[in-house]
């Protein structure tokens, strides 16, 4: 039996070949430890440039959960809390790491995985106008994901509105960019990395899911948050002894490519994976399989009947996302996720597209 073609997630394979090449090329070189090496410096420089944020500080963390926890632990005082969508990774899939570090996450309703600036303002005002503010955690950080856990994007305007709401109420804005490449790579995205940097006080640029072997860049644009960030990285288990391994990967991902304008491997990876995801999106629609979300990014979600899912699963790995609304005829349906990544090939998607009409009829 042929192995499954894998669309189940975007972290099931190693690294882009350029990353592996870089690791091999430098394997015998000696570097200082803990992120004080020349590759981290170079990657920081490149990321600052890509973000048009010359004064930002950039760090590198072992993964996305560590990077998020560091931001929360570093920035907030003990009585301060995080406003986040109810679907946020930090709220539902980090084993309470934020609370383990001492902070409440105040989950806001987010039917489409996004929260609006009006919700932020309302939550901030609730604390400000509380008759007993010292009995209530103070919302001090907004954390959103770009793209969200279900593939959606904040527009440039929405980001600016979140920023304004944060400014109006003295909140920090953290953006979890574990899939940043796939957000920026969506044709529909009108926010650039510079827009993200302008909106956020701190954000992450995911490597793990976006071509690197592992690791995330952490960008701190608010200079008031910069001091002692390395202490927080170390204390929260986010710092790698051989830090240059992370710097080297991000330098590889963000090195400008000759003749490609602002282009670099990171952006290219994002664009290509999203292009393949949108092919799948169209294929699903053409086959009459209903989309579950509007996702314009690398994660596509659709509603399958049990027999359709069985047919899909015979040849393709997918991830079950939860129960969905029944079909028009009342038939139960399941939401399944199909992901592309830097490792997805044209041929893999071709195969799926060819099979989808058959799967739809199953």
Considering only residues 24-43, where is the footprint of a second copy by CB under 8 A? 24, 26-34
- Greatest Cα-to-Cα distance within the chain, rounded to the nearest angstrom: 67
Under the binding rule (CB under 8 A), the answer on residue 6 touching a second copy is yes
Distance CA 275, CA 270 (A): 9
Return all residues near 298 (Cβ < 8 A) that are at least 6 apart.
10, 151, 179, 182, 185, 270, 273, 274, 276, 277, 339, 340, 341
Which residue's CB is nearer to a second copy, number 128 or number 320? 320
Residues of span 135-164 touching a second copy by CB under 8 A = 135-138
Residues of span 198-217 touching a second copy by CB under 8 A = 208-209, 213-214
Under the binding rule (CB under 8 A), the answer on residue 317 touching a second copy is yes
Query: Of residues 1, 54, 224, 241, which one binds a second copy by CB under 8 A?
Result: 241
Under the binding rule (CB under 8 A), the answer on residue 192 touching a second copy is no
Query: Of residues 173, 180, 238, 352, which one binds a second copy by CB under 8 A?
Result: 238
Which residue's CB is nearer to a second copy, number 189 or number 344? 344
Quick check: helix, strand or coil at residue 217? strand
We find the least distance from the C-beta atom of residue 55 to a second copy, in angstroms, to be 20
Under the binding rule (CB under 8 A), the answer on residue 320 touching a second copy is yes
Distance CA 119, CA 110 (A): 10
Piece of the chain touching a second copy by CB under 8 A; list 94-102, 151-159, 188-196, 283-291: 94-102
Residues of span 68-87 touching a second copy by CB under 8 A = 69, 73-74, 77-79, 81
Residues of span 260-289 touching a second copy by CB under 8 A = none
Under the binding rule (CB under 8 A), the answer on residue 351 touching a second copy is no
Query: Of residues 235, 271, 279, 353, which one binds a second copy by CB under 8 A?
Result: 235
Piece of the chain touching a second copy by CB under 8 A; list 40-48, 62-70, 111-119, 324-332: 62-70
Quick check: helix, strand or coil at residue 227? coil
Return all residues near 42 (Cβ < 8 A) that are at least 6 apart.
247, 251
Where are the alpha helices (H) located in the chain, listed in sequence order?
Answer: 17-25, 38-50, 64-75, 89-92, 97-100, 117-128, 156-169, 180-184, 193-199, 229-235, 244-254, 265-286, 306-313, 346-361
Return all residues near 159 (Cβ < 8 A) that are at least 6 apart.
191, 195, 196, 199
CA 257 to chain centroid = 24
Query: Of residues 204, 221, 236, 300, which one binds a second copy by CB under 8 A?
Result: 236
We find the least distance from the C-beta atom of residue 8 to a second copy, in angstroms, to be 8
Query: Of residues 57, 71, 94, 342, which one binds a second copy by CB under 8 A?
Result: 94
Which residue's CB is nearer to a second copy, number 194 or number 317? 317
Return all residues near 262 (Cβ < 8 A) that are at least 6 apart.
50, 256
């Amino acid at each position: 039996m042929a192995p499954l073609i894998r669309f189940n997630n975007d972290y099931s394979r190693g690294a882009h070949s350029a990353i592996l090449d870089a690791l091999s090329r430098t394997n015998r070189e000696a570097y200082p430890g803990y992120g004080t090496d020349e590759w981290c410096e170079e990657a920081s420089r490149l990321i600052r440039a890509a973000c048009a944020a010359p004064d930002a500080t950039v760090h590198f963390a072992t993964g996305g959960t560590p990077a998020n926890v560091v931001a929360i632990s570093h920035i907030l005082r003990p009585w301060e809390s995080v406003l986040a969508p109810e679907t946020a990774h930090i709220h539902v899939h980090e084993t309470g790491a934020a609370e383990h570090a001492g902070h409440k996450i105040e989950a806001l309703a987010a039917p489409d995985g996004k929260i609006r600036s009006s919700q932020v303002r309302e939550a901030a005002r609730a604390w400000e106008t509380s008759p007993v503010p010292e009995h209530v955690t103070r919302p001090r950080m907004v954390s959103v994901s770009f793209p969200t856990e279900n593939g959606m994007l904040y527009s440039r305007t929405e980001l600016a509105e979140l920023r304004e709401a944060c400014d109006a109420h003295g909140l920090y804005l953290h953006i979890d960019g574990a899939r940043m490449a796939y957000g920026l790579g969506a044709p529909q995205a009108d926010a650039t990395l510079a827009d993200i940097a302008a909106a956020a006080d701190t954000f992450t640029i995911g490597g793990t899911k976006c071509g690197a072997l592992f690791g995330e860049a952490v960008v701190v644009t608010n200079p008031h948050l910069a001091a002692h960030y390395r202490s927080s990285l170390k204390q929260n288990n986010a710092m790698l002894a051989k830090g240059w391994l992370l710097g080297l990967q991000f330098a590889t991902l963000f090195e400008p490519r000759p003749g490609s304008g602002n282009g670099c491997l990171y952006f290219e990876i994002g664009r290509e994976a999203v292009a393949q995801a949108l092919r799948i999106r169209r294929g699903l629609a053409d086959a009459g399989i209903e989309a579950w979300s509007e996702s314009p990014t690398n994660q596509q979600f659709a509603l399958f009947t049990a027999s359709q899912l069985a047919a899909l699963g015979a040849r393709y790995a997918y991830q079950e996302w939860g129960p969905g609304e029944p079909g028009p005829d009342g038939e139960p349906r399941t939401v399944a996720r199909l992901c592309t990544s830097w490792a997805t090939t044209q041929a893999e998607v071709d195969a799926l597209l060819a099979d989808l009409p058959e799967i739809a009829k199953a």
